[in-house]
Chains A and B, each alone.
Chain A
Amino acid sequence: MTRKIEIYPLNRVEGDLEISVELEDDVVIDARSAGTMYRGFENLMVGRAPLDGLVITPRICGICSTAHLYAAASALDMLFNVDVPRQATWIRSITAMAEMLQNDLRHAFLLFMSDFTDPAYQKEPLYADMVKRYAPIEGSSVRQTIDATRGILEIISILGGQWPHSSFMVPGGVVSMPSNNELNRCAYLLNNFKQWYERQVLGCNLERWHAVQTKADLVAWLKESEAHFNSDLGFYIRFATKTGLHRIGKGHGNFISFGMPGLAAKPETAAKAGQILLTAGGFYADNQLWPMEQENITEDVSHAWFAGTDTSQHPYHGQSSPYATGSEDLRYSWAKAPRYKAIPAETGPLSEMVISSSPLFSDFMQVDGPSAFLRELARLVRAASIIPAVEGCIENAMSTPGRYYTSHGELENQQGHGLIEAPRGGLGHWVNIKDDKILSYQIITPTAWNASPRDAEGIRGPMEEALIGTRVKNPENPLEIHHVVRSFDPCLVCTVHAIDLR
């Protein structure tokens, strides 16, 4: 028996996302992911002054605006051919990573875990504890996360003036000139966050956590102490394996990450090397790792509501001409389909772990392969690697006096791109300039990779593929679908709706 479930709009993701899946005997045999809102940001940029990208593009996303600012500033660094002083690289990196810490923990405890508070789980022995911890707004861990993430964002307000939507990065560096007093405040705020993260989320200090390098280590770690067992991480591992999250959401097994190019380009700026994840980024397919080369990225519009050819284009040549037809069979999304060498790839914390060859995640990939469980685990523990990196950048900025900005002078290039690691994965901005004005501005967001529709070859996007094979217990309330979709932290806003085709 075949039936179709449509989930729209799915809540607790940023922006508008609709998922439809086809079930055969309660197992997903096909899936479609559709972006249902078109805001036309790329076209708003055409004809504007090059620096306007610094003001307009952060407003694409309310939870990762600093990432967009970083990508926009990096593209401008290239257009103006200006060298960014290392102090500025540290400030850019500190703020981008602070935003990442905020996003990872808010996603995990505000957006992801609340699915487990659904009454469908009330027979689980841990259910009462789950509700106590993760009920929306009221939950004990939720309340702590709201306070802790607000604290880490104070760093961005000190260094960048406000969060979200500041424009303190400019070609040639940053406009702010933080004093050591202000950097000290950042260090205190980071330390507060670290203490909370160690106590509440991990149940151990970062050093102990980094000694967990295999799946077997993780099992041993969980049983080692009550603090580990009852931490948010310990609780997640117990509940998620009990409910089978490790058995769903596999996907293609292809990964892409853009890394932290600012730190990678100048190894001397990378404080505490080795603890900073991924610096150069990469592409991983067929169990092999390749360097990331932006020339290999294309966008395909064959299944998206955009006019034009069905061939794929590099973002320097891509256009966004919306073509609203309502619902039509072939075209079903406002999201284009990004591909790397014509291959779909997922991006986000798990990609970062795989591409940076994290021992724990490499072991999991060998033993179990990717899953919804592993994807969210990566998001929960990434902070253990980010925190030391931010510490290092703050120390460097304090001990190395120097300029934060180099005059950017005149435009020297007509093409520029900025590729960085945003909280949800690889983010790229590609800009063409003509007569000192923006001729085209193409943006590929992490969610564009993950929630991509099919391409001209009919190959599904990563999230679509990850849904295949998922067994749905109750099609009226398809929680398994929610878990898989949310494990990608999609940045698109959504509710659930089921249509019975029988």
Chain B
Amino acid sequence: MKKTLFWLQCGGCGGDTWSMFNIESPNLAELFKSLDIEILWHPTLSVKSGADQRQLVADVLSGQQPLDFLCIEGAIIRGPRGTGLYDLVNGKPKKDLVAALARQAQYVIAVGTCASFGGFGTDSEIEATGMQFLKWEKGGFVGESFQSKSGQPVINLPGCPCHYDIIGGTLSLVVSGTPLKLTEHHSPAEWYNIMVHQGCTRNEYHEYRVEDKAFGEKGCMFFHLGCRGPLAHGPCNKLLWHRRSSKTRVGVPCFGCTRPDFPQPYPFFETRNIEGIPMELPEGINRAHYMAYKGMAAAAAPRRLKTRKTGI
């Protein structure tokens, strides 16, 4: 049966939409066709005239036009002082439209970190928040108890941008009727139950603690260059981008862009440390055991790694 989708952009950059255009096998056009999803509205894809678009919104809000998927991209802007005047549509705060549409949808999907957790501007004058989380805290814009018509909370697909396979994959699973197993931050476990670190081609360097302090080298970037790979949940190094590579593979530290606290308030490209030991260790690790293991590993590091002879 035909499903319907409404995509609304709020305080964001459009990067999740453009990430979605990278979908392949099937490509974007084939995907929506094979899932039999009708795009009622998407800011980049729609040709509806103003009057038709206003009628569509009215029909969705009155319930006359059923809505299966509401996709929100970008943060909900509440500033200044809760008025939402920093983001207007039709002269009215866009946040009010978001709240009204969310009540009509079978599924509400927050695409990207800004829509999921607030992202950019959570501590600024724009008073940004995610749909159902504000950083680590449940609640956000629609509140902790919100459930869409299907009984699900807002489904979070963080990432800056969200990897295109996750967007296509989530829609496919929901349409096929597969129950989505969600993590504690309401993200599908299928993609967010692994760390960005998994699959990084620099893992052998990490294993033997062969660490880099400068850009343009082959070693691990966790101890000095601020890499958050072992601290961020996401499939970057499993799915890769364009099936080709990832930031950490080419030598860009992971910035933890799937984390609820992205962007971090302290500097990127630096690992916060106490006497050379990172303040934050890979998720879930025992500090003493980790340090003993890393000490021994560094001592055991093979020459080919220490001399950067091994390719990445």
Q: Which residues between 162 and 184 of chain A lie within 8 Å of chain B, taking CB atoms?
A: 162-168, 170, 172-177
Q: B50: which of A36, A63, A493, A496 is its contact (CB, 8 Å)? A: A496
Q: Report the bound CA distance from A95 to B134 in whole Å.
A: 35
Return B21 CB to nearest CB of chain A, in Å. 6
Q: From A52, A65, A154, give the contact of B15 (CB < 8 A).
A: A65
Residue of B nearest to A137 (CB): B29
Q: Which residues of B contact A39 (CB under 8 A)?
A: 11, 77, 86, 120-121, 126
Given A137-B45, A158-B245: A40 touches B124 (CB 8 Å cut-off): yes
Q: Answer yes or no: A497 CB below 8 A from chain B CBs.
A: yes
Chain A's interface size range is 35 or more
In this complex, what residue of B is CB-closest to A170? Answer: B215
Once A44-B124, A161-B250, A164-B161 are accepted as A-B contacts, the answer to whether A137 and B32 lie under 8 Å apart by CB is yes
Are A63 and B86 neighbours in the complex by a CB distance under 8 Å?
Answer: no
Question: Is A187's beta carbon under 8 Å from chain B?
Answer: no
Q: Is the CB of B160 within 8 A of A59?
A: yes
* Residue of chain A at shortest CB distance from B89: A9
Q: Is the CB of A157 within 8 A of B216?
A: no
- Whether, in the assembled complex, B281 has its beta carbon less than 8 Å from a beta carbon of chain A, the answer is no
A-contacting residues, B231-276, CB 8 Å: 236, 240-242, 244-252, 255, 257, 263, 267-270
Interface residues of B in 41-85 (CB under 8 A from A): 43-51, 53-54, 77, 79-80, 83, 85
Nearest residue (CB) in B for A321 is B125
For A49, the closest partner residue in chain B by CB is B267
Is A358 in contact with chain B by the CB < 8 A criterion?
no
Closest Cβ of chain A to B196, distance in Å, is: 11
In contact, A164 and B87 (Cβ under 8 angstroms) = no
Residue tally, chain B, CB below 8 Å to A: 71
A482 to chain B, nearest CB (A): 9
Q: Is A12 an interface residue (CB 8 A)?
A: yes
Distance between Cα atoms of A111 and B257 in the complex (Å): 29
B251 pairs with A44, CB closer than 8 A:
no
- Contacting chain B: which of A366-374, A382-390, A403-411, A453-461? A403-411
Question: Which residues of the partner chain B approach A55 to less than 8 Å between Cβ atoms?
Answer: 255, 263, 268
Residue with the highest number of chain B CB atoms closer than 10 Å, among A11, A138, A167, A495: A495
Please classify the interface of chain B as helix (H, G, I), strand (E, B), loop, or mixed, using the class held by over half of its residues.
Answer: loop
Bound complex: CA A491 to CA B33 (Å) = 28
Smallest beta-carbon distance B56→chain A, Å: 9
Q: Which residues of A contact B250 (CB under 8 A)?
A: 159-161, 166, 168, 175-176
Contact between A157 and B125, CB atoms less than 8 A apart: no
Residue A206 is within 8 A (CB to CB) of chain B in the complex: no
Task: Point out the residues of chain A lying under 8 angstroms from B218, CB to CB.
Answer: 177
Partner of B21, one of A7, A149, A162, A495: A149
Interface positions, chain B 8-25, Cβ under 8 Å from A, are: 9, 11-19, 21-22, 24
With CB as the reference atom, state the residue of chain B lying closest to A39. Answer: B11
- Does B267 lie within 8 Å of A175, measured CB to CB? no
Q: Pick the residue among B77, B245, B251, B270 that contacts A157 (CB under 8 A).
A: B245
Does B145 sit within 8 A of A, measured CB to CB?
A: no
Q: Are A154 and B244 touching (Cβ within 8 A)?
A: yes
Docked Cα-Cα span, A41 to B88, in Å, equals: 17
A residues in contact with B270, CB < 8 Å: 49
Residues of B within 8 A of A15 (CB): 14
In the bound assembly, the distance between CA atoms of A43 and B255 in angstroms comes to 20
> In the complex, are the beta carbons of A160 and B252 less than 8 A apart?
yes
B296 beta carbon closer than 8 Å to chain A: no
Cβ of B284 under 8 Å from chain A: no
- In the complex, chain A residues whose CB is within 8 Å of the CB of B79: 324
B28 contact from A146, A326, A404, Cβ within 8 A: A146
Which positions 149-173 of chain B face chain A at CB distance < 8 Å? 160-161
- A38 interface residue (CB < 8 Å to B): yes
A-B contact list, 6 entries, CB within 8 Å: A39-B120, A39-B121, A49-B270, A110-B45, A146-B28, A322-B125
Interface residue ranges, B against A (CB under 8 Å): 9, 11-19, 21-22, 24, 27-29, 32, 39, 43-51, 53-54, 77, 79-80, 83, 85-91, 120-121, 124-126, 160-161, 214-216, 218, 236, 240-242, 244-252, 255, 257, 263, 267-270
Q: A12-B44, A14-B14, A150-B242 are in contact. List 20 more A-B contacts (CB 8 A).
A: A8-B89, A9-B43, A11-B44, A12-B47, A37-B87, A40-B126, A49-B267, A59-B15, A62-B17, A62-B18, A110-B45, A111-B44, A136-B39, A157-B244, A158-B245, A160-B252, A164-B18, A167-B268, A170-B215, A497-B54
Query: What residues of chain A have their CB less than 8 Å away from a CB belonging to chain B?
Result: 7-9, 11-12, 14-16, 36-41, 43-44, 48-49, 51-52, 54-56, 59-63, 65, 106, 110-111, 114-115, 117-118, 136-138, 142-143, 146-147, 149-150, 153-154, 157-168, 170, 172-177, 322, 324, 326-327, 334, 403-405, 407, 476-477, 493-498
